[in-house]
């Protein structure tokens, strides 16, 4: 069942009913000011840091879920309703929400009044704009009153939810009914002391009245669904003194039949220099100059429309670097629009603010952010460079890493500790992706601090060396890498042994033994070690490259030997040296993580031609066959099978989840692409594409009532085959799945990937997509690649470049400004 449809031309998802199975959200903003907005106008806004500079309030765990947002109440001769359906829930004659790239447009119509609101954050501005178009669709004159609504948060979102003894006394506002461009409400809590920032909520017309005290607006016993002021039709002109400051402005609107009127609402964030904080110091009247300047930029509809056009143009430019035109519209819309869009959202948000992440919990993850780079490096290479250097500067001198860092300060924090032994290797992955995309080797010579201490700075290349060496010097009894606190799987905590409720599985090591090993890190080391060696070579260090390759060969042999279980790769060895992820166990027999990455790294690969006799017996093919058989279900590949039914002290958090959920046998979408890529390595594009379709939202749109979350973005997890509600997704938007599925689809299924010395063209997508054209802009040149695809397993691409056939599948990089035509037959 669907709740809307894609509009590919407009690059929108169109939701046609308010009754989706969960709030379906979008993000506004891509620089410093951000908003979350659901299809019912729920959500909130913040400046740079969702925890420290929260502008508006949102209550997680609310009933119903999505209560709180920026709302517009319409009083039409006593009939009060909200065009976003929530919060009033009056039935609408027409409802539609269009989520687009950095904007959302919500339309509601009732009893001859249509209200369409376009929400967006203009490029370069710290403001959310609402362009509201009210139309009288009836044949009688209408006299309406509109009431805007926004509830302010007292800046620090954590404190805002916890410290009521103080906060209910500090709220302060100012009202400016005759502002130069209409009427405005200023939220200035704590501005009197150490803050130099405030928020403004304004309309571009002279309002009839205002409210700034939430209780006066709703009435003592009413809620947002039946607030007294809109019901009465007249603003209370209330001033907040503490309690709950909010902003509402009322605007009377008279409309002849067929007539429309456009009104603009602005929510802005402003700062003043310390010496210019006040317009009137004695009366503590704030300096509103920067707010007036902002409001002056959006005073007319023409100004608003120009800013909106500019936003669209910047997205068109961004998304032009990788496009595909194929016979499969679902594939095209994911690759061209939504998957890349989601990659940008992960770049902006990391894992901070979504409808599943509160914006107060996590800093940026070392491993998460480095992997995110893989998905956006082609979109914003300069910003990827900066991100890489910021992350590298939090690395410890011994190569290990803080697991998280704070985006505002760019410093590592120990909230989730350190000692996750996969972390260092992801830095190599990010730098390799950056070098392949840009060819900018100067990044390797950048001086980068260790532990944010400039006195310890060394080159970025030295950082990579310490990442590589960290694995070399931290091996266990089998010669496999020590796992430390955990590896990619945060919940595989082999040294924790926790019996205390609430104790952190990730930061507690109750039995430090230094023996628990990770096969996964072994595979990761072989994969990214090869990049380290390639980079060392290009950095003029052939001896370093050769020594690295010796280490890699040794690890490869170890994984094939101690890491092999008979039909798949094992997952780990625990504190006692007992294997995890083995057929000998009753549960947790096979894990997904090492299988895909091993094959990506070439471990156990004897042939890439499935018809060759040695193929079938290869460890790679056996492992991926086992994945398909044991981990596969219609909704994707589960992480582990069978999931654990009891708590295992020696394994930690993974066994705390009910079987079928999260790391304990959920479909953790992040690592499905590793198997997808592995299948393309083995020349089995048909299987790869099949797995891709199982988790990719556009292909799941028809089962939205099961999937529950947005059909345009990936979720972190889909409940697995042991779950009671198999197929139900959770944690949409902020997940490494975005980057990895984009890599899998663009670089391996469609097969166009930048390498160090040229663009590889090597599609493996099976027979369902017989013809397609990829346009790829890289290093300033444009490659137009036309693919004729038989989809026969094991067939590899043959290429002609500008009419000449070439050996192999590497198209050398062309001069910037040129267009290269590649013809590819598979
Ligand atoms: C979450 C974390 C990520 C981790 C994964 C598996 O997605 O953000 O760092 O790798 O869970 O535990
Ligand atoms: C990751 C996992 C989650 C776990 C958390 C611990 O986000 O997905 O299951 O609770 O890490 O930090």
Q: What is the residue-wise DSSP string for 630-665?
A: IIEETTEE-SEESPPSS--TTTGGGGGSPTTBTTBT
Please answer whether residues 148 and 265 qualify as being in contact, where contact means their C-beta atoms are separated by less than 8 angstroms. Answer: yes
Distance (Å) from CA 421 to ligand 1 centroid: 14
Q: How far are the Cα atoms of 165, 351, 444 from residue 354, in angstroms, in the given order?
A: 28, 8, 34
Tokens of 635: 């909704």
Nearest CA to ligand 2 atom 12: 490
Q: Measured over all CA atoms, what is the biggest interatomic distance in the chain, rounded to whole angstroms?
A: 88
**pLDDT at residue 567, as a whole number:** 98
Angle between helices 423-438 and 519-538 (to 10 degrees): 40
Q: Does the active-site annotation cover 490?
A: yes
- DSSP E strands: which ranges in 738-778? 752-754, 758-761, 771-778
Outline where 323-422 has alpha helix (H): 329-333, 339-349, 366-376, 381-392
Please state the atom number of ligand 1 nearest to the C-alpha of residue 716: 7
Please, what sign has the CA dihedral across residues 475, 480, 482, 487?
positive
Please state the atom number of ligand 1 nearest to the C-alpha of residue 351: 8
66, 328, 490, 762: which is the annotated catalytic residue? 490
Tokens of 570: 């094992």
- Helix (H, G, I), strand (E, B), or coil: what is residue 456? strand
- Helix (H, G, I), strand (E, B), or coil: what is residue 588? coil
Please answer whether residues 134 and 144 qualify as being in contact, where contact means their C-beta atoms are separated by less than 8 angstroms. Answer: yes
Q: Best of 653, 664, 668, 736 to mutate for ligand 2, by most ligand atoms within 8 A of CB?
A: 653
Distance (Å) from CA 640 to ligand 2 centroid: 16
Please, what sign has the CA dihedral across residues 724, 728, 734, 740?
positive
Distance (Å) from CA 256 to ligand 2 centroid: 56
List of the chain residues with pLDDT < 50: none
Q: How far are the Cα atoms of 368, 480, 485, 683 from residue 652, in angstroms, in the given order?
A: 21, 20, 10, 37
Ligand 2 site residues, Cβ closer than 6 angstroms: 416, 490-491, 506, 653, 662-663
Distance (Å) from CA 494 to ligand 1 centroid: 16
Q: Which ligand is nearest to the CA of 639?
A: 1
Nearest CA to ligand 1 atom 10: 488
**pLDDT at residue 413, as a whole number:** 84
Q: How far are the Cα atoms of 588, 618, 670, 794 from residue 592, in angstroms, in the given order?
A: 11, 18, 11, 23
Q: Best of 405, 488, 657, 731 to mutate for ligand 1, by most ligand atoms within 8 A of CB?
A: 488
Distance CA(640)–CA(590), nearest Å, equals 6
Angle between helices 672-681 and 685-695 (to 10 degrees): 160
Distance (Å) from CA 236 to ligand 1 centroid: 48
Tokens of 439: 């060819």
Q: Best of 494, 736, 739, 741 to mutate for ligand 1, by most ligand atoms within 8 A of CB?
A: 736
Strand 819-825 relative to strand 781-788: parallel, antiparallel, unpaired?
parallel
Nearest CA to ligand 1 atom 7: 735
Hunting for tokens 């910047």 — which residue is that? Answer: 314
Nearest to 56 by CA among 187, 146, 152: 152
Q: Which ligand is nearest to the CA of 736?
A: 1
Q: Which ligand is nearest to the CA of 664?
A: 2
**Which DSSP string do the residues of 194-254 spell out, in sequence order?**
T--EEEEEEESS--SEEEEEHHHHH-TT--TTS-HHHHHTS---B--BSS-EEEEEEEEEE
Give pLDDT tens digits for 350-400. Answer: 999 999 999 998 778 999 999 999 999 999 999 999 999 999 999 999 999
Q: Which ligand is nearest to the CA of 417?
A: 2
Nearest to 676 by CA among 690, 656, 665: 690
Please state the atom number of ligand 2 nearest to the C-alpha of residue 731: 8
DSSP assignment, residue 814? P
DSSP assignment, residue 480? P
Q: First CA to last CA across the chain, in angstroms?
A: 36
Distance (Å) from CA 360 to ligand 2 centroid: 15
Distance CA(161)–CA(603), nearest Å, equals 50
Q: How far are the Cα atoms of 31, 117, 497, 668 from residue 503, in angstroms, in the given order?
A: 37, 46, 10, 24
| Beta carbons within 10 angstroms of residue 89's beta carbon | 14
DSSP assignment, residue 271? E
Q: Best of 349, 369, 402, 490 to mutate for ligand 1, by most ligand atoms within 8 A of CB?
A: 490
Outline where 143-283 has alpha helix (H): 157-160, 164-170, 214-218, 228-232
Distance (Å) from CA 640 to ligand 1 centroid: 15
Q: How far are the Cα atoms of 170, 201, 212, 283 from residue 188, in angstroms, in the given order?
A: 10, 12, 12, 13
Distance (Å) from CA 145 to ligand 1 centroid: 48
Q: Is 370 in the pocket of ligand 1 (CB under 6 A)?
A: no
Distance CA(485)–CA(653), nearest Å, equals 11
Tokens of 370: 């480095």
**pLDDT at residue 416, as a whole number:** 82
**pLDDT at residue 364, as a whole number:** 87
Q: Which ligand is nearest to the CA of 671?
A: 1
């Amino acid at each position: 069942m669907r709740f809307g449809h894609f509009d590919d031309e407009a690059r929108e998802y169109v939701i046609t009913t308010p009754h989706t199975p969960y709030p379906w959200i979008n993000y506004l903003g891509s620089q410093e000011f951000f908003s979350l907005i659901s299809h019912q106008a729920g959500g909130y806004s913040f400046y740079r840091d969702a925890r420290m500079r929260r502008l508006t309030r949102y209550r997680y765990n609310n009933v119903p879920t999505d209560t709180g947002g920026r709302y517009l109440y319409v009083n039409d001769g006593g009939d009060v309703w909200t065009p976003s359906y929530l919060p009033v829930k009056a039935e609408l004659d027409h409802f539609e929400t269009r989520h687009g790239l950095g904007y959302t447009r919500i339309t509601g119509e009732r009893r001859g009044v249509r209200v369409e609101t376009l929400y967006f954050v203009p490029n370069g501005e710290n403001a959310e704009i609402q362009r509201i178009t009210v139309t009288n669709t009836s044949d009688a004159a209408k006299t309406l009153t509109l009431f805007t609504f926004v509830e302010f948060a007292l800046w620090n979102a954590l404190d805002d939810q916890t410290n009521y003894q103080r906060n209910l006394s500090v709220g302060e506002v100012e009202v400016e009914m005759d502002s130069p461009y209409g009427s405005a409400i200023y939220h200035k809590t704590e501005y009197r002391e150490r803050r130099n920032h405030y928020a403004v909520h304004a309309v571009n017309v002279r309002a009839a009245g205002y409210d700034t005290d939430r209780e006066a607006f709703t009435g003592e016993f009413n809620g947002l669904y039946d607030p007294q002021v809109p019901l009465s039709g007249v603003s209370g002109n209330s001033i907040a003194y503490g309690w709950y400051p909010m902003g509402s402005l009322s605007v009377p609107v008279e409309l002849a039949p067929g007539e429309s009127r456009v009104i603009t609402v602005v929510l802005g964030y402003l700062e003043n220099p310390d010496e210019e904080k006040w317009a009137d110091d004695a009366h503590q009247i704030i300096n509103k100059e920067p707010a007036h300047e902002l409001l002056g930029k959006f005073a007319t509809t023409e100004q608003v429309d120009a800013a909106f056009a500019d936003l669209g143009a910047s997205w068109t430019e961004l998304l032009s670097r990788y496009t595909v035109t194929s016979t499969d519209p679902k594939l095209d819309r994911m690759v061209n629009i939504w998957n890349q869009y989601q990659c940008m959202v992960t770049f902006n948000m990391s894992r901070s603010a979504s409808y599943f992440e509160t914006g107060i919990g996590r800093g940026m993850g070392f491993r998460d952010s480095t992997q995110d780079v893989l998905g956006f490096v082609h979109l914003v290479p300069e910003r990827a460079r900066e991100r890489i250097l910021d992350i590298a500067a939090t690395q410890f001198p011994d190569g290990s890493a803080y697991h998280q860092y704070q985006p505002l300060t760019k410093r590592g924090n120990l909230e989730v500790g350190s000692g996750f032994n996969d972390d260092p290797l992801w830095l190599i992955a990010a730098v390799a992706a950056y070098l392949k995309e840009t060819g900018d080797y100067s990044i390797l010579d950048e001086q980068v601090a260790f532990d944010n201490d400039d006195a310890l700075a060394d080159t970025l290349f030295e950082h990579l060396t310490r990442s590589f060496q960290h694995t070399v010097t931290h091996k266990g009894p089998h010669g496999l890498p020590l796992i430390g606190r955990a590896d990619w799987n945060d919940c595989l905590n082999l040294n924790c042994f926790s019996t205390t409720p609430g104790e952190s599985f990730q930061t507690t090591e109750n039995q430090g033994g230094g023996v628990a090993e990770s096969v996964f890190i072994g595979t990761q080391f072989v994969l990214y070690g090869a990049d380290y060696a390639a980079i060392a070579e290009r950095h003029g260090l052939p001896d370093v490259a050769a020594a690295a390759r010796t280490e890699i060969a040794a690890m490869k042999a170890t994984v094939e030997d101690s890491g092999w279980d008979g039909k798949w790769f094992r997952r780990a060895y625990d504190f006692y040296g007992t294997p995890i992820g083995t057929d000998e166990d009753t549960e947790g027999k096979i894990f997904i993580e090492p299988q895909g990455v091993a094959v990506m790294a070439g471990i156990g690969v004897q042939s890439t031609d499935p018809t060759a006799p040695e193929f079938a017996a290869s460890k790679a093919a056996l492992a991926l066959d086992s994945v398909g058989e044991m981990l596969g279900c219609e909704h994707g590949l589960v992480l582990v099978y069978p999931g654990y039914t009891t708590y295992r002290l020696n394994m930690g958090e993974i066994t705390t989840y009910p079987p079928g959920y999260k790391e304990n046998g959920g479909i953790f979408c992040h690592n499905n692409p590793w198997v997808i890529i592995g299948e393309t390595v083995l020349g089995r594009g048909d299987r790869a594409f099949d797995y891709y379709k199982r988790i990719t939202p556009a292909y799941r749109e028809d089962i939205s009532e099961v999937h529950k979350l947005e059909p345009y973005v990936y979720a972190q997890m889909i409940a697995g085959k042991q779950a009671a509600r198999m197929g139900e997704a959770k944690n949409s938007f902020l997940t490494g799945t975005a980057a990895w599925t984009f890599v899998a689809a663009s670089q391996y299924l469609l097969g166009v990937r930048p390498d160090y010395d040229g663009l590889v063209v090597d599609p493996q997508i099976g027979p369902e997509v017989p013809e397609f054209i990829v346009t790829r802009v890289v290093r300033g040149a444009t490659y137009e690649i036309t693919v004729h695809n038989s989809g026969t397993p094991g067939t590899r691409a043959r290429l002609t470049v500008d009419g000449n056939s070439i050996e192999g599948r590497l198209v050398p990089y062309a001069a910037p400004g040129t267009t290269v035509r590649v013809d590819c037959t598979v």
